[in-house]
Structure 1
Amino acid sequence: MSLKTALKRALHSSGVSSSLARRDGASFILAAHIVLEEEAEQLADVIRLLQRSFSLVSLDEYLDALRAGRCRNLVTLTFDDGLRNQLTVTHDVLVSLRVPATFYVCPALVGTPFSTWTWELEPRLSRMSTRRQQEIFASGSADSFEPFLQTLKEMPLGRREAIWTEIVNTTPEFAFTPDEERRYSLMDWAELAKLDHSLITIGSHTHTHVDLPQVDDERLEWELAASRAMLRDKLGCDARHFAYPNGNHDQRSSSAVARYFDSGVTMVPRAVGPGSDPYRLPRVHIQWGAHELAWALARIARD
């Protein structure tokens, strides 16, 4: 164990990290994606840690407190993409501990055989020869996976979609392995309907998981309106909350989100404060390991 890790664990065990995280009434929105079966107890430990230091509330309650100037020592949990393990693992933990959360989904992808392009990318590339992988990486001016993924997220939408089409056409027989399936597969509508809706709020993550700053005005409006309409049609719920894919947003997209939703969450890792814009709310990605999360929240609370 490194000295840094040992120090984090010691501060967590002594309660120092949790105390620092509560400094000045800091409140947080936490984000996560994949939660595997072997991580269920870690998620439960994280929630128990949070319950010792914060009030865990629904996103609606959180926003009410923010508007009223009472957003102190609050945490709300959010999970992106509508992954199936959020039903089979995350949901079970949340129900057992009676903790509310928001699940953000892309309605156009619900029930499809694969996943969002961001989760599907690496498995598809792994099916290619090394030479073909390098050719694909070069099309994004990268030489390995992580820089390539980041480049795709940032490049103009038309170019990214052309590269993605090339990747899909190169892997026509693609199917998830069992391990990929448990990581990346998405819930269908019947599974979303099974969620305990007294605890789980369903929000929009756009209709197709596209970065909103990259699309024109017509596509921007469609991504928001179509996602709300399909969630209402399939689940009978009026989606009130929104998560920006990859956290990417700008003034134009956040203004559009404000016309359709009550909130928008980013991936800017900060605490929520009295001046936080409800359509550009910061979120901290959950660190697996209670001591890691306590350390991260304590650090962010000091910023």
Structure 2
Amino acid sequence: MFDNAKLQLANLLTENVNKIVMYHKFSNLSHNIESSSKLFEQQLIYITKAFKNKILSSPSSRQTGIHLTIDDGYQDFYDLAYPLLVKYEVPATFYVCTGFINKELWMWYDKIEYLLETTPVKYFEIVLAGQPHAWSLTSKIEKENCALQLQSILKSFPSNEVSAEINAISKLLEIEIPVLPPYKYSACSWGQLRDMDPELINIGAHSHTHPILTNCTDEQLSFELKHCTELLQKELQRPIKHFCYPNGQSTDYSNTVIEKLKQLGYESAVTAFTDGYNCKDRYKIRRCSGVESMHRFKKHVNGVEHLSKKWISFKTRNNNENNVFSR
């Protein structure tokens, strides 16, 4: 365990590193990517006391400090997290997928989770990209593991293929997917986005349909970025300056994507990973997860995780150099 002295030392050593924290869903109980409202409130209390003058108003702030970000646009943010942000006066950026908000779709990975939660099938097999896969589905844990593995596999598929595969999975699991998602997977409305205090909540863009942007054709990429931006500006009547890459790994964005964001007037873009590099590029902002325990959260916001990954990177680079000279 890290005591307060060690946390303070890590914070001092990383005082020039922004700590951008990432959330997705909220519930009354923690589960997978869901953060419990109780834990979230504890985190807000902690940062308002420990980092009172270091809480940033946006991810692209020129100052160094902490900023909270929430992805996708789920209804539970408005119901559970937003009132707590108002209560403790903590600003945040809420990145939304406009197709989701517009009730045109629900997140494809939520469909996978829904199918596995509700299926009566006890054994499931399918061929994906030429590879056979099979799962036992006799327990909740087996169903959750199957959902996670399917989500991981399908991430690399083009969007149209993901949709086709989910339809095939739906038939095999003997479950029909509702047109609109149940509450657990539902999106905020445009009215709720407009209701949020713009001085407290930045509304950012997260594409229109949440594809991995580097898998898109030029035409698809232009649509995902431009249509999302224009729809948000039209509905909210305000500039949209911050973007979040769907999936957010280093292979999920490119210089082409970044240039298009700049052309559309974006000031920043966030990833969904952290590393040991203090990247100053406002279009490659690193983030850490806020979903884990309070202890892990304290390590994130005080810079312990950053220092740990920096040390791992140093050791890896040093070992590689030694291997070159030993040949």
- The 5 A counterparts of 1:63-74 are 63-65=60-62, 71-72=63-64, 74=65
| TM-score computed with the length of structure 2 as normaliser | 0.77
Per-residue CA shift, 1:139-170, capped at 9, x if unaligned? 76544332221111113444323213334566
| TM-score computed with the length of structure 1 as normaliser | 0.82
SS at match of 1:198: coil
In structure 1, the partner of 2:95 is 104
Residues 154, 195 of structure 1: alpha-carbon distance in 2 compared, 3 angstrom cutoff = same
Rounded Cα–Cα distance in structure 2 between residues aligned with 1:164 and 1:139: 16
Confirm or deny that 1:23 pairs with 2:28. no
- The 5 A counterparts of 1:98-137 are 98-112=89-103, 115-130=106-121, 133-135=124-126
In structure 1, the partner of 2:230 is 229
% identical equivalent positions = 22
In structure 2, the partner of 1:44 is 41
Q: Rg: which structure is higher?
A: 2
Per-residue CA shift, 1:110-155, capped at 9, x if unaligned? 1528631122211123334536732267876544332221111113
Shift of 1:237: 2.0
Q: RMSD between aligned alpha carbons? A: 2.8
Higher strand share: 2
5+ long unaligned stretches in structure 2: 30-35, 135-145, 311-327
Q: Which has the higher contact order (CA 8 A, sep 6+)?
A: 1
Name whichever of 138-147 and 252-261 sits farther off.
138-147
Residues 112, 18 of structure 1: alpha-carbon distance in 2 compared, 3 angstrom cutoff = farther
Rounded Cα–Cα distance in structure 1 between residues aligned with 2:277 and 2:81: 24
Confirm or deny that 1:263 pairs with 2:272. no
Per-residue CA shift, 1:166-204, capped at 9, x if unaligned? 345666643499xx8443211111121221222001011
CA contact (8 A) 2:73 2:100 kept: no
What letter is aligned with 2:107? Answer: T
CA contact (8 A) 1:270 1:282 kept: yes
Higher helix share: 1
Counting matched residue pairs gives: 282
CA contact (8 A) 2:108 2:163 kept: no
In structure 2, the partner of 1:89 is 80
Shift of 1:257: 2.1
In structure 2, the partner of 1:4 is none
Residues 157, 116 of structure 1: alpha-carbon distance in 2 compared, 3 angstrom cutoff = closer
Confirm or deny that 1:165 pairs with 2:191. no
Shift of 1:263: 1.0
